[in-house]
Amino acid sequence: MVALPGDAGVIADAPGLRSLPLVGHERGLARAFPEIVEASRACRFGDCTHTHEPGCAVREAEDAGQIDSLRLETFQNLASSMRVSAQMLDPDVHL
């Protein structure tokens, strides 16, 4: 068991535990990447993944140098993992 800083909780290992699903951390993701969340308000589609949709304001901001490409890639990887985890836990959930 590993204690996380502050009141963030603990990480506990258990037999059979292979991964930690990233579910329910949307607010944390938004706080860690505020520039992406701000830019996404101007995306054409409300469910934009910022990967391929036309009218994506996040990718436009990246192209303009306003959003760091590595940070956007990290955001997209985390968001994708969260969508996969949510669908594994509840196939009826579509994020």
The three-state secondary structure class of 47 is coil
Closer residue to Zn ion, CB minimum distance, 23 or 48? 48
Examine residue 61 and tell whether it contacts Zn ion (CB under 5 A). no
Q: Beta partners for 10?
A: 3
Closer residue to Zn ion, CB minimum distance, 56 or 67? 56
The three-state secondary structure class of 10 is strand
What whole-number distance in Å separates Cα of residue 55 and Cα of residue 50?
9
Q: What is the smallest separation between the CB atom of 53 and Zn ion, expressed in angstroms?
A: 6
Task: Give contact residues for Zn ion (rule: CB under 5 A).
Answer: 43, 48, 50, 56, 58
